[in-house]
Amino acid sequence: NAGVTQTPKFQVLKTGQSMTLQCAQDMNHNSMYWYRQDPGMGLRLIYYSASEGTTDKGEVPNGYNVSRLNKREFSLRLESAAPSQTSVYFCASRSIPTRYEQYFGPGTRLTVT
């Protein structure tokens, strides 16, 4: 099992450009999450998907959109990147509501100039 995979690992964008971060898990987990991690701050939830076909906003959703394409895949889209979106992005998944443990992907380091 690969666990949770993310692509790309690194990306540099210019202000105003768009891109999609991809996330996939092969553990048959129901819930998937997108977080951003900034220096001096804890992980912050951008969006999550409790199950296939549902998505909900987290703490910092502005400037982002998500798609739960199927049970395996959960993508994060930046429609018009801004320097404030420079961050490390982590995707995570969790099996069922009574299993609290999250499994994280390796992260995507995004720089917006």
47 close to 66: Cβ distance less than 8 angstroms: yes
Nearest 5°: the CA angle 58, 112, 88 is 50
Q: Does 100 bind another protein (CB under 8 A)?
A: yes
Q: Please say which residue, 92 or 112, places its beta carbon nearer to another protein.
A: 92
Rounded CA-CA distance 65/36 in Å is 14
End-to-end CA, the chain: 36
Q: How far is the CB of 99 from another protein (least distance, A)?
A: 8
Q: Which of 2, 40, 53, 62 binds another protein (CB under 8 A)?
A: 40
For 53: left if phi > 0, alpha if psi spans -120 to 50, otherwise beta; the answer is left
Q: Does 45 bind another protein (CB under 8 A)?
A: yes
Q: Does 88 bind another protein (CB under 8 A)?
A: yes
Q: Please say which residue, 10 or 53, places its beta carbon nearer to another protein.
A: 10
Instruction: Choose the stretch contacting another protein; rule: CB under 8 A; options: 16-24, 62-70, 73-81, 103-111.
Output: 103-111
